[in-house]
Amino acid sequence: MKAWIAFGNIFMKDMRSYYLKPPNISWGLIFPIAWTLMFFLRSPVPLEVRDLLPGVMSLSILFGTTSMLAVTITFERKSRSFDRLLLAPISLNLLMLAKTTGAIMFGVINAFVPILFASFLTDLSGINWPLVLGSVIFIAITSTFLGLFVAVSVSQVFEAQTFSNFFRFPMLFLCGLFIPVADLPVFIRPLSYILPLTYGADILKTAVNNNGVLSLSLSFLMLLLFTAFLFSYSIYNVNRRWIL
């Protein structure tokens, strides 16, 4: 019981201190919306809102979950406030889950903001909502654990910001969000399939427009594997670098 009380307190503290702050909300939402508007303004042909929706949702989750998580954990480690959390009556695994649950929930909420905007612009009938929810949750989890992976791999806040963008910005072009993976040069395509967002975005495409190219079972399996790897490696790094 004490462990779960500690879990809840850590979760609520992070929500109040980080995830509900205006800068995080703006970076998680305004950037994907601005990116979408760029497509509408620059495209020589009309674009369907539903065609863009899976990509915008994926971007909202990715930037919403990683924009603060990697930085805040690095900052807490630098200020040694994270060291105090290690003294809490809670296992390391549960502690890291408490630190990431807020980001996961924030990412899920972010995903449905583009849907709200799209509902005023186009007909959303025929969407497989259970599949949308499943893919959104998995994208939020893998994106959050990617932020955790970044946080435990660096020691300075500016390094966390740089390292996060090293992963995030290539995903804009490599994960099939707006440009199909099949249209990429052959020598670049393997990079797409080692990024978790490729599989999450493809599930969303199947759920929204029924035009995904990968099997659902393969995509969910790959997301599970990415989740296990990123979390396990992050815990290993914390034990090796942060705990004597």
> What residues contact residue 103 under an 8 Å CB cut-off, 6+ apart?
19, 64, 65, 66, 68, 69, 140, 144, 147
Q: Which of 3-7, 157-161, 229-233 has the lowest mean pLDDT?
A: 157-161
pTM attached to this predicted model = 0.87
Show the domain range for 230.
Answer: 2-242
What pLDDT was estimated at residue 228? 93
Residue 165, both tokens: 């963008």
Tens of pLDDT, residues 58-115: 888 888 788 777 777 777 777 777 777 777 777 888 888 888 888 888 888 888 888 8
What pLDDT was estimated at residue 237? 80
DSSP three-state, residue 5: helix
Tens of pLDDT, residues 146-173: 888 888 777 776 677 777 778 888 888 8
- Give the mean pLDDT of 128-148: 91
Contact 60, 32 (CB under 8 A): yes
Residue 218 pLDDT class (50, 70, 90 cuts): very high
> What residues contact residue 24 under an 8 Å CB cut-off, 6+ apart?
18, 64, 67, 68, 106
Q: State the DSSP H helix or E strand holding residue 145, giving kind and residue range, or none if neither.
A: helix 129-151
Give me the number of domains the chain comprises.
1
DSSP three-state, residue 87: coil
